[in-house]
């Protein structure tokens, strides 16, 4: 059984909703999901002890939320190389945040990122979002 950290930033709780759905998929696959707001992660030690990592942020004015940027600086000092990872986000019209986080995890941290790419949803409950988010969680666990 693996232990997966889902760190998320949110403004309107849509990204939290997606995190909760991804966690359901992780649990369905027999693994443990730990969900945390990124503001709860204060140091690289807070990132220790996980087998896979998922980070999510909504896109707001073409950018990720500031608290997610702060987490990315913290994570740069953590030992994440080779660990499975994925990203997700909610968006209104553009959705760049999840892709930027994905690229950071892949190229800077040298993580083993899911072939699914970033998961971008308007909301978890819209247009098949529930199934897509649950499957994303399952697919991350298959990489552990």
Phi, psi values for residue 128, rounded to 5°: 80, 10
Show the tokens assigned to 25: 């998929």
Round the average pLDDT of the chain to a whole number and report it: 94
To the nearest whole percent, how much of the chain has pLDDT over 70? 97
CA distance linking residue 78 with residue 68, whole number of Å: 15
CA distance linking residue 144 with residue 138, whole number of Å: 10
Phi, psi values for residue 138, rounded to 5°: -65, -40
pLDDT value of position 107: 98
Q: How many H-runs (helices) and E-runs (strands) does the chain carry?
A: 4, 6
For residue range 3-56, what is the model confidence (pLDDT) as tens digits? 999 999 998 888 999 999 999 999 999 999 999 999 999 999 999 999 999 999
DSSP one-letter string for 100-126: HHHHIIIIIS--EE-TT--EEES-TTS
Cβ–Cβ < 8 Å for 88, 119: yes
Mean pLDDT of 64-72: 96
pLDDT value of position 126: 61
Domains and CATH numbers, the chain: 3-142 (3.40.50.360)
Higher pLDDT, 121 or 23: 23
Q: Is the pLDDT of residue 124 over 60?
A: no
Q: Is the pLDDT of residue 134 over 80?
A: yes
Q: Is the pLDDT of residue 137 over 70?
A: yes
């Amino acid at each position: 059984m693996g232990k997966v950290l889902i760190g998320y930033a949110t403004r309107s709780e849509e990204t939290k909703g997606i995190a909760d759905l991804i966690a359901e998929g992780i649990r369905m696959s027999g693994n443990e999901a730990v969900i945390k707001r990124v503001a709860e992660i204060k140091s690289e030690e807070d990132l220790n002890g996980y087998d896979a990592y998922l980070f999510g942020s909504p896109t707001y004015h073409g950018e990720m939320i500031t608290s997610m940027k702060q987490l990315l600086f913290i994570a740069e000092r953590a030992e994440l190389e080779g660990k499975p990872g994925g990203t997700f986000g909610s968006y209104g019209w553009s959705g760049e945040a999840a892709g930027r986080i994905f690229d950071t995890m892949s190229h800077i941290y040298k993580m083993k990122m899911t072939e699914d790419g970033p998961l971008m949803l308007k909301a978890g409950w819209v247009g098949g979002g529930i199934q897509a988010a649950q499957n994303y969680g399952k697919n991350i666990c298959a990489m552990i």
